[in-house]
Amino acid sequence: MRPFAFSRATDVADAVQQGSLAGCSFVAGATNLADLMKYDVTRPARLIDINPLTLRGIEELQSGGLRLGALATNAQTAYHARVQKQYPILASAILSGASAQLRNVATNGGNLNQRTRCYYFYNSALPCNKREPASGCSAVGGVTRVHGILGTSSACIATHPSDMCVALAVLNASVRVTGNFGDRVIPIAEYHRLPGDTPWLDNTLQHGELVTAIDLPNESFATNYTYLKLRDRQSYAFALVSIAVVMHMEDGVIREARVALGGVAHKPWRRTEAEQTLKGQQPSTQLFETFAEELVAGAVGYGDNDFKIELARRGIVRACHQAAEGTPQSQSDKDIA
Ligand SMILES: Cc1cc2nc3c(=O)[nH]c(=O)nc-3n(C[C@H](O)[C@H](O)[C@H](O)COP(=O)(O)OP(=O)(O)OC[C@H]3O[C@@H](n4cnc5c(N)ncnc54)[C@H](O)[C@@H]3O)c2cc1C
Ligand code: SF4
């Protein structure tokens, strides 16, 4: 690991002031950043430790929604009583990821900003446009089992690895950030970006901007939801494809459905226009198959990951059934229902 300077931020203003200097990077739980530094993927000149900031709280909003502090850990969030009661899909998605030890340290802000698990991104001996702009993409024509099938570009076919963010996508969460130019609230759909021709930009955060919280609207999806994570191992593995579904059901009819995919794109993949297909309909395999086609329309495989297209189709159908029937995928015993 290369030498780096280290300082602690005393408050949010101090963090933003220090973080906006060239070569500075925030560090929270360090569960991703330390690896990136050890692999020489990221080379910050200075780490700004944000752990002293008072951003650990999970609090009720006046609107009735819930504010998740950027420094609240993934474990604290998943086991929070209101999250479990009102937004159990978020608990489920978080608990499907990493390990108990990691979730005790990993923070919500860090989870949002974790970087891709593309093998070539981590191998600093090989070209990678995300690591080194305009150097090329080693994944195209290489080993692509974990890569994207939707929204990719010729410059990058990486995926965003987070489980938590896929659940946040269907919960219509918003990300609160603060920087030298003031505060912003970014809808989760606009937070992460597709690679296009600037794949080194994972999201719309500006350099030096700090995530302070994630807000959840005052809605409840206590019964008709599921987070289905399909992966090589049933534990301690990133998603090949994951499917988050929440529904409002009334008298056996789908009043509203939101579906997002993980493991397939540079950001959680959601098509709100396709969700209209489910609205006002009675659940059926045929309906969910039609919807699955619409959600994965335009998917392209790169060889090793061709299987993801069919896996996504079938996963969507299964997850929609689980949500409609109120039989969410269990993350505690990891059974595949
Ligand atoms: C072995 C292993 C397995 C894993 N498995 C999974 C999995 O299955 N599913 C999954 O979703 N995740 C998984 N993870 C990833 C894990 O969830 C992330 O590493 C973790 O959430 C990052 O949080 P952190 O606080 O440690 O972030 P850090 O490592 O401290 O930071 C990560 C990035 O976020 C930035 N950052 C941190 N906080 C802020 C903030 N408040 N504002 C702006 N920028 C910020 C940092 O500058 C850095 O760029 C795994 C990780 C490991 C090591
Ligand atoms: S897919 Fe993206 S992250 Fe992976 S090698 Fe290509 S440019 Fe780099």
Q: List, for residues 183-218, the tens digit of each pLDDT value.
A: 999 999 999 999 999 999 999 999 999 999 999 999
User: Could you tell me the two tokens for 65?
Assistant: 């929604």
Give the pLDDT confidence score for residue 80 in this predicted structure. 98
Whether the pLDDT of residue 337 is over 70: the answer is no
In the sheet with 225-230, reading across from the earlier edge strand, the strands are 225-230, 241-250, 253-262
User: Is the pTM higher than 0.85?
Assistant: yes
Whether 292 contacts 299, CB under 8 Å: no
Confidence of residue 235 (pLDDT cuts 50, 70, 90): confident
Whether the pLDDT of residue 281 is over 90: the answer is yes
Whether 209 contacts 50, CB under 8 Å: no
> What value does the mean pLDDT take over residues 117-129?
97
Give the pLDDT confidence score for residue 216 in this predicted structure. 98
Whether 302 contacts 308, CB under 8 Å: no
| Ligand 1 site, residue 170, Cβ cutoff 6 A | no
> Between β-strands 5-8 and 225-230, what pairing exists: parallel, antiparallel or unpaired?
unpaired
> What value does the mean pLDDT take over residues 219-240?
95
Can you tell me which atom of ligand 2 is nearest the CA of 137? Answer: 6
Evaluate whether the domain defined by 225-325 bears CATH number 3.40.50.620: no
Name the segment(s) of the chain with CATH classification 3.30.43: 5-49
User: Could you tell me the two tokens for 55?
Assistant: 């951003």
Whether 111 contacts 74, CB under 8 Å: yes
Task: Report which DSSP code applies to 45.
Answer: S
Task: Give kind and range of the element (H or E) at residue 230.
Answer: strand 225-230
Pocket test for ligand 2, best of 157, 160, 192, 264 (most atoms within 8 A of CB): 157
| Ligand 2 site, residue 129, Cβ cutoff 6 A | yes
Nearest residue to 144 via CA among 120, 115, 126, 114: 120
Whether the pLDDT of residue 164 is over 80: the answer is yes
Nearest ligand by distance to the CA of 168 = 1
Confidence of residue 234 (pLDDT cuts 50, 70, 90): confident
Beta strands, E only, 112-224: 174-179, 182-187, 210-216
Architecture of domain 5-49 in CATH? 2-Layer Sandwich (3.30)
Name the segment(s) of the chain with CATH classification 3.30.390.50: 225-325
Q: List, for residues 50-71, the tens digit of each pLDDT value.
A: 999 999 999 999 999 999 999 9
Question: Nearest 5°: phi and psi at 84?
Answer: -65, -35
Q: How many CB atoms lie within 10 A of CB 119?
A: 17
| Ligand 2 site, residue 230, Cβ cutoff 6 A | no
Residue having the nearest C-alpha atom to atom 6 of ligand 2? 137
Give the pLDDT confidence score for residue 99 in this predicted structure. 94
| Ligand 2 site, residue 265, Cβ cutoff 6 A | no
Beta strands, E only, 51-124: 58-60, 66-69
> What value does the mean pLDDT take over residues 131-137?
97
